[in-house]
Amino acid sequence: MRNRSEAAPPPLRSSPPLRETQIPIVDSAGAVVAWSSEPPEVVGMSLRHRQAEALLGGAIDCAYLELHDPDEAMAAGAPPSWSGPWRCLVIAKRR
């Protein structure tokens, strides 16, 4: 039991709320056409993602892409104060 003259410990700081990071799905020009919270699945030697395959019309791969739009960068995981391009993994149609 704590003596009443002892100071109480400082309250714990709460962490900022976690944001759900989305994975961009991009067309052949590199434009974001959709977003997914579900990652692709490795099946054998292939990546599979039903939503992306249906949207892009075929097999998919993952690639790095720089996002220049601040809202897109934030959705893809950039911190709120980020400025400049955000490089992230995207789901793209297999070439």
75-95 in b/e burial notation, b at 16+ Cβ within 10 A? bbbbeeeeeeebebebbbbee
Mean pLDDT of 23-39: 95
pTM of the complete model: 0.77
Q: At 80, is the pLDDT very low, low, confident or very high (cuts 50, 70, 90)? A: confident
Report the amino acid identity of residue 6. Answer: E
- Which token pair is 55? 């949207």
**Percent of the chain beyond pLDDT 90?**
75
Please report, for the chain, the start and end positions of each structural domain, with discontinuous segments joined by +.
23-93
